[in-house]
């Protein structure tokens, strides 16, 4: 990690070449919680991101849409440290320079990502999956011998209720429906108390009822967390997003309400098909 160190507790500190990082705090007093400015990424001559600028406010639920190849996945890769941009800046609040940090440090700072395919432990119960997520930042010995406190148990119970799996508390994750597994993984992310959640196509493969429940869940989380959702289902996007960003050829094409972007001639031409 260039410019930052972590101690055994995972706290991020300033080093000689880094920007100031205040432990446990993300400074959003003078701007958004997450912003990218003039970010470009090239792969073998192809510009996946082309001078991309994007700003996400604290507590906002933002949807990103765009055709295949628009840059959505690369954008998330840059934010989480998986891909390093050729140019540009990426900040978490006003003081945390994400380009000076590696993937684990970014996750520890409060940015988490959910991929399209749910990644849960099928052999463990719902409760045990959430317990494991709670322990994820601990060392091996602590994980093996740690006993849950009453406060931690209450936290797990609270998350189980939030994700709507109270009746499945002791079910093994392997017997859950696809939608329930998606909610469980969202719960596992919530156990880490993230400030920003990046959610990739959360409703793929869901039933209509599961889609409705997922919309309710994400809406219930806005305000407490900043949530960025990548999704192709326009009806679902309309149901959750007050602001939509349309990506095209690695840049922001337009932003606005769903009605505004759907009626934008440029969007109709490149994405929504006339």
pLDDT at position 236 is: 97
Task: Tell whether the model's pLDDT for residue 214 goes beyond 50.
Answer: yes
Mean pLDDT of 75-102: 95
Q: Could you tell me the pLDDT band of residue 180, with boundaries at 50, 70 and 90?
A: very high
Q: Give the whole-angstrom CA distance, residue 92 versus residue 25.
A: 10
pLDDT at position 3 is: 43
Query: Within a 10 A sphere around the Cβ of 88, how many other Cβ atoms?
Result: 17
Q: Could you tell me the pLDDT band of residue 20, with boundaries at 50, 70 and 90?
A: very low
Q: Could you tell me the pLDDT band of residue 70, with boundaries at 50, 70 and 90?
A: very high
- Poorest-confidence range of 12-21, 80-89, 231-240? 12-21
Q: Which residue has the tokens 């140019």?
A: 87
Using CA atoms, how far residue 190 sits from 32, 83, 268, in Å, is 21, 24, 36
Measure the CA angle with vertex 94, ends 53 and 245; round to 5°.
30
Residue predicted with more confidence, 199 or 271: 199
Mean pLDDT of 207-216: 97
With CA atoms as reference, report the closest residue to 132 among 103, 152, 161.
152
pLDDT at position 68 is: 87
- Poorest-confidence range of 26-40, 116-130, 229-243? 26-40
Q: Could you tell me the pLDDT band of residue 59, with boundaries at 50, 70 and 90?
A: very high
- Poorest-confidence range of 18-22, 136-140, 160-164? 18-22
pLDDT at position 49 is: 97
User: Can you give the CATH number for the domain in which 81 is found?
Assistant: 3.40.50.300
Query: Within a 10 A sphere around the Cβ of 243, how many other Cβ atoms?
Result: 16
How far does CA 72 lie from the centroid of its chain? 12
How many domains does one find in the chain? 1
Predicted model pTM: 0.85
Task: Tell whether the model's pLDDT for residue 44 goes beyond 50.
Answer: yes
Q: Could you tell me the pLDDT band of residue 142, with boundaries at 50, 70 and 90?
A: low
Contacts with 253 (C-beta within 8 Å, 6 or more apart), sequence order: 66, 246, 247, 264, 266, 267, 270
- Residue range(s) defining the domain that contains residue 49: 4-272
Mean pLDDT of 239-254: 95
Task: Tell whether the model's pLDDT for residue 16 goes beyond 60.
Answer: no
The tokens for 238 are: 């309309």
What integer best gives the mean pLDDT of the chain? 86
Task: Tell whether the model's pLDDT for residue 12 goes beyond 50.
Answer: no
- Poorest-confidence range of 11-20, 146-155, 161-170, 181-190? 11-20
DSSP designation for 179: H
pLDDT at position 191 is: 94
């Amino acid at each position: 990690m260039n410019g930052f160190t972590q101690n055994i507790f995972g706290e991020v500190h300033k080093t000689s070449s880094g920007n100031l990082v205040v432990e446990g705090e993300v400074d959003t007093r003078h701007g958004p919680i997450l912003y990218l400015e003039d970010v470009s990424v090239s792969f073998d001559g192809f510009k996946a991101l082309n001078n991309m600028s994007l700003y996400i406010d604290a507590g906002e639920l933002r949807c990103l849409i765009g055709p295949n190849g628009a840059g959505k996945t690369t954008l998330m890769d840059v934010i989480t440290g998986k891909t390093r941009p050729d140019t540009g800046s990426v900040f978490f609040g006003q003081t945390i320079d994400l380009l000076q940090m590696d993937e684990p440090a970014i996750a520890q700072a409060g940015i988490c990502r959910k991929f399209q395919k749910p990644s849960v432990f099928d052999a463990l119960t719902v409760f045990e999956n959430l317990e494991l997520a709670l322990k994820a930042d601990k060392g091996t010995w602590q994980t093996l011998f740690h006993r849950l406190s009453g406060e931690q148990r209450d936290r797990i119970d609270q998350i189980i209720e939030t994700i709507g799996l109270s009746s499945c508390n002791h079910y093994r994750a392997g017997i859950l429906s696809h939608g329930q597994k998606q909610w469980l993984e969202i719960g596992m992310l919530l156990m880490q108390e993230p400030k920003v959640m990046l959610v990739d196509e959360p409703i793929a493969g869901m039933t209509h009822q599961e889609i409705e429940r997922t919309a309710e869940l994400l809406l219930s989380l806005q305000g407490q967390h900043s949530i960025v959702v990548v999704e192709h289902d326009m009806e679902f996007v309309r149901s959750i997003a007050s602001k939509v960003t349309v990506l095209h050829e690695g840049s922001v094409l337009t932003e606005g309400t769903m009605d505004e972007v759907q009626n934008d001639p440029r969007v109709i031409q490149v994405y929504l098909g006339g």
